[in-house]
Structure 1
Amino acid sequence: MEKLMIFFLHAGTHVIPMAASSVAAFVVLSLIVATVIYLSLKSRYNEEINMKVEMFLKAYGTSKPTRYTFPEVKKIARRFKDKLGQGGFGSVYKGELQNGVPVAVKMLESSTGEGEEFINEVGTIGLIHHANIVRLLGFCSEGMRRALIYEFMPNESLEKYIFAHVSDISRQLLAPNKMLDIALGIARGMEYLHQGCNQRLLHFDIKPHNILLDYNFNPKISDFGLAKLCARDQSIITLTAARGTMGYIAPELYSRNFGGVSYKSDVYSFGMLVLEMVSGRRNSDPSVENQDEVYLPEWIYERVINGHEWELTSEMTAEDKEKVRQLTIVALWCIQWNPKNRPSMTKVVNMLTGRLQNLQIPPKPFVSSENYPRT
């Protein structure tokens, strides 16, 4: 019996190491199997995306813009040494075409949806030519490598100048007359998207960051990754989820109780953009604890109703103040919570080019600041 106990004691010292090694082997084997399955599924998923993109490009045909190979894109982007910025869909680099024309090259990340950003951009602005819409000059699609080549906008985005509180020069560039020009340019570009194309094009991400400025500070609408095409006579469209950027998304995209989603949703975003432009303030500031106290449309609406003007600079003339008031009233019409009460972009253009005396003060453009989604 004593010998038997000694045997079991000695055997027991080997049980734990053997069990541990078995568990480790099982874990390693499981990881290998999981990795193989993941890579296989990823490869199949990528193949499906590539097929989807190539089917689109085949249907798209040989029309402009130009299709480039990846080595050509790499050469155009100067081996991606001069990075201009980083967006939600990829990195943007400064480049130059063979004829010397400066361009911006956006390299789309491989994790970007199912190729929809690429398809949206090529399939929409690839066929659009308007003074206030950025031009797509070329593209590349090789495997999972996708690039979009745009005309270069040297003065970057409108966002840089609206919120540049530390730079008086930046704010001076947005003098009232220039603000009116920029707002009118954006409105004309949006009017073309809504009314001037064969199919109505809804942008769904109108905001200062997506308004680029050329050498003369003329605005150009960019970033059509969330855009949606619909028939020109189609008043309401169906979306499975809200799309856009918080603070610029129309209420009906959150809840159909406010109305149906339509081109009027873009009008709302435009109104918010203009309110930020005339005030120099963001419509939603996450650094402020109580957002209800600084809800931008409410603050501006109270000033307009009470006849309190605000001066962008100490040197504003009576004409400047009139332009700011005109922009403000138009913007307040655009952000009416009921889409039916918002003007079309054609009407917005007319309001911006008309006289202030012909503009009526809109109704209160919000239900309650407590009901508006915050970041």
Structure 2
Amino acid sequence: MAITSFVIFLLSLLLILVQAKGRNASTCPKSFSCGNFTDLSFPFSLSTQPDCGMMSMSGCDAKPYPRIQLVPGGEWYYALEMHNSSVWLGDPKLQTTLTQHKCQAFNKNFSIPNSHFMSFHMVNINKFFKCISTSNNARNITHKKNDHFVGYNMYKGCEGFNIYYNLPKGADNLPTNCSLIRLPIHSTHGDLFNMLGPEILIEWKLSDECNECHYGGGQCQTDKANKFSCQKDAKTPTSSTDQRKVTTKRKMGELILVTGASLSTVGLLALLLFCFRQKKLWYKYLIRFWESNAEDHQKVEEFLKNYGSYAPNRYNYTDIKRITNRFRSKLGQGGFGNVYRGSLRNGSEVAVKVLNELKGSGEDFINEVASISRTSHVNIVSLVGFCFEGHKRALVYEFMPNGSLEKFIYEERSNGVRQLGWPILYKIALGIARGLEYLHRGCNTRILHFDIKPHNILLDEDFCPKVSDFGLAKMCMKQESVVSMLGPRGTIGYIAPEIVCRNLGGVSHKSDVYSYGMMVLEMVGGRKNVDVGVDRTSEIYFPHWLYRRIELDEELQLIGIMNEEENECAKKMVIASLWCIQTDPSNRPSMSKVLEMLEGKLDSLQMPPKPYLFSPSRSEVDSSVVELA
């Protein structure tokens, strides 16, 4: 089936090449390069060939960027980035005035007129009122402010005028003595000069008439009455001699094109047949990638169809660049890709995880979108939306100001002081347990996370924990006690033993319980449970050390315990965690039972059996085949 599809694709390509005519005969190039931009084509053109396009490019060898003119006779800007139907522009003069906080910035008024050929939309432009503030009309301005600017912000740092704005709504009315100006914004926070930016995102759309004219071999023009006209064969020579020369060249070009395309197609088919007969591995991988990529897109479309209006927002890649202000503020990075800080049009802050294009087949991405879209809980991070455009994949989450739990429990401390006090640590442990109980019991479909670790616990401004990163999650019916898995998944140090050694028991929600227990023990100790970087003979397995001290009724000697109440919280966290990391999954409590232990009295807790395991050696770590998040 895959062979047949590929052959049909090649033959279709040949047919398109054979039929390609029209503007081939024109003096206008099919594509050109300018600066860092390659494969540019209509409606772009070089300034030396203005008739070949609508938007002119100039200074292609200039640094740092080439220049672009959107409309004939219009202003020139830097061309920063280009996409299918949008372009990022840079205004160097505006950048200078904004950097120096000069009020000349408010003399600008960005406006691009639409033409018969194309229309423009300025995405990150906001409207502002520039109102004269001289003493002669101060009373009038005050009156107008009461009428028009209720709820608006005012900037009065410029001599002779004030600026009124209401982000992100902008302004619609135009009072007397005020003028309307349009300026680009890149943030909704800080003072006015920090909100403004020199970069403008322009989306353009070619008119249907011009689009049809261009692909029919003509050039979009206006006649004497300033009405649209399609000029065809404008470059065709009029003399019979010249006509014969052009005709001969055209036929020779078509012959070369057809011959080359035919030979290429035959060669590809021969190579394909050879690889099929020889069963080459690379060919199998090619077909598998081709089919899996199509399957990934089909899964996303099916997911959107099934969820209907309840599906998260879907953004295109241009939206992602606008939200992150072209990836300006990086929050962190990992094997999956990078995380950037962003802002939506309504002013809400978000964290945008942009996935590496080469990571996996897309199953992790679809897992995360499908899993987290089923959740709604205070201890589960909220998914605002996602981007799935070709190989571009991104996830848009609510922003967590305090980042991940990881940075609060492993960093070095001084003078016996913890970064987070025991009341906050206890609150975090409770919150994570509630989030996991919800995933295991509260959803219509049980969700197993399979990668619980400090890095995947995010903290809001009040240190309320939220479980994140569902790339390795697996969904199952509530009545299912054991799930099937093709291979190990998780992170070394938190993986339940039955995931690696299947003879220890079935993989189930108890695997998340194990990871939770190991993580809470690291919160208690402020260190890794086992340091695989030290000599095996000098290594101390922290859970065993804790078990021994509780068994002998000795002080835990944990850092930062100030009173008996905090000591009791610490012991409850330790005992509950020691139950969670039992080797046999059937001996581990459910997350509901873990919550009972943490919220109950210390005297009611029984000591678990000693957790025999799973202090993995370096050789075990190196030989384990796991999916590292």
TM-score normalised per structure 2: 0.51
Shift of 1:90: 1.6
Would you say the 8 A contact 2:561–2:567 is kept in 1?
no
- Cα deviation, 1:284-325, whole Å, max 9, x if unaligned, reads 323212177312221221122122223444662122111111
State the alpha-carbon separation in 1 of the partners of residues 539 and 366 from structure 2: 42
Cα 1:142–1:370 shift into 2, 3 Å: closer
Relative to structure 2, which stretch is displaced further, 81-90 or 143-152? 81-90
Cα 1:168–1:137 shift into 2, 3 Å: farther
Pairing 1:49–2:291 present: no
User: In the alignment, residue 77 of structure 1 is paired with which amino acid?
Assistant: T
Relative to structure 2, which stretch is displaced further, 52-61 or 221-230? 52-61
State the alpha-carbon separation in 2 of the partners of residues 58 and 113 from structure 1: 24
Greater RCO, 1 or 2 (C-alpha within 8 Å, sep 6+) = 1
Tell me the equivalent position of 1:70.
Answer: 317
Q: What is the aligned counterpart of 2:362 among 115, 118, 121?
A: 115
Equivalence map 1:1-375=2 (5 Å): 46-166=293-413, 172-290=418-536, 293-313=539-559, 316-367=562-613, 369=615, 373-374=620-621
Cα 1:219–1:291 shift into 2, 3 Å: farther
Aligned residue for 1:79, secondary structure, equals coil
Shift of 1:190: 0.3
- Cα deviation, 1:99-148, whole Å, max 9, x if unaligned, reads 11110001111122221122111111123110000000111111111110
State the alpha-carbon separation in 1 of the partners of residues 373 and 325 from structure 2: 23
Shift of 1:194: 0.2
Aligned residue for 1:281, secondary structure, equals coil
User: In the alignment, residue 119 of structure 1 is paired with which amino acid?
Assistant: I
State the alpha-carbon separation in 2 of the partners of residues 258 and 79 from structure 1: 49
Gaps of 5+ in 1: 1-29
- Cα deviation, 1:144-172, whole Å, max 9, x if unaligned, reads 11110000011111110110114679x63
Cα 1:166–1:233 shift into 2, 3 Å: same
Would you say the 8 A contact 2:497–2:614 is kept in 1?
no
Shift of 1:271: 0.3
Shift of 1:46: 3.5
Would you say the 8 A contact 1:77–1:95 is kept in 2?
yes
User: In the alignment, residue 191 of structure 1 is paired with which amino acid?
Assistant: E
Higher share in strand: 2
- Cα deviation, 1:57-79, whole Å, max 9, x if unaligned, reads 33343324211111111100110
Would you say the 8 A contact 1:275–1:331 is kept in 2?
yes
Would you say the 8 A contact 2:409–2:419 is kept in 1?
no
State the alpha-carbon separation in 1 of the partners of residues 311 and 609 from structure 2: 46
User: In the alignment, residue 153 of structure 1 is paired with which amino acid?
Assistant: M
Would you say the 8 A contact 1:64–1:126 is kept in 2?
yes
Shift of 1:370: 6.7
Cα 1:224–1:292 shift into 2, 3 Å: farther
User: Is the radius of gyration larger for structure 1 or structure 2?
Assistant: 2
State the alpha-carbon separation in 1 of the partners of residues 374 and 520 from structure 2: 28
Gaps of 5+ in 2: 1-270, 623-629
State the alpha-carbon separation in 1 of the partners of residues 303 and 546 from structure 2: 46
State the alpha-carbon separation in 2 of the partners of residues 251 and 39 from structure 1: 32
State the alpha-carbon separation in 2 of the partners of residues 368 and 87 from structure 1: 26
State the alpha-carbon separation in 2 of the partners of residues 184 and 330 from structure 1: 11
State the alpha-carbon separation in 2 of the partners of residues 165 and 199 from structure 1: 41
Would you say the 8 A contact 2:482–2:506 is kept in 1?
yes
User: In the alignment, residue 356 of structure 2 is paired with which amino acid?
Assistant: E
Aligned residue for 1:139, secondary structure, equals strand
Aligned residue for 1:140, secondary structure, equals strand
Would you say the 8 A contact 1:50–1:144 is kept in 2?
no
Cα 1:247–1:299 shift into 2, 3 Å: same
User: In the alignment, residue 118 of structure 1 is paired with which amino acid?
Assistant: F
Higher share in helix: 1
Would you say the 8 A contact 2:413–2:419 is kept in 1?
no
State the alpha-carbon separation in 2 of the partners of residues 78 and 181 from structure 1: 35
TM-score normalised per structure 1: 0.85
Would you say the 8 A contact 1:64–1:127 is kept in 2?
no
State the alpha-carbon separation in 2 of the partners of residues 40 and 258 from structure 1: 38
Shift of 1:367: 4.4
Relative to structure 2, which stretch is displaced further, 220-229 or 312-321? 312-321
Relative to structure 2, which stretch is displaced further, 290-299 or 63-72? 290-299
State the alpha-carbon separation in 1 of the partners of residues 470 and 286 from structure 2: 32
Shift of 1:45: 5.1
Shift of 1:37: 7.1
State the alpha-carbon separation in 1 of the partners of residues 589 and 446 from structure 2: 16
State the alpha-carbon separation in 2 of the partners of residues 371 and 287 from structure 1: 10
Cα 1:102–1:167 shift into 2, 3 Å: farther
User: In the alignment, residue 338 of structure 1 is paired with which amino acid?
Assistant: D
- Cα deviation, 1:172-224, whole Å, max 9, x if unaligned, reads 34222111111000000000000000011000000011000000001000000
Cα 1:63–1:306 shift into 2, 3 Å: same
State the alpha-carbon separation in 2 of the partners of residues 231 and 342 from structure 1: 20
Shift of 1:228: 0.3
Cα 1:67–1:365 shift into 2, 3 Å: same
Cα 1:57–1:168 shift into 2, 3 Å: farther
Relative to structure 2, which stretch is displaced further, 207-216 or 278-287? 278-287
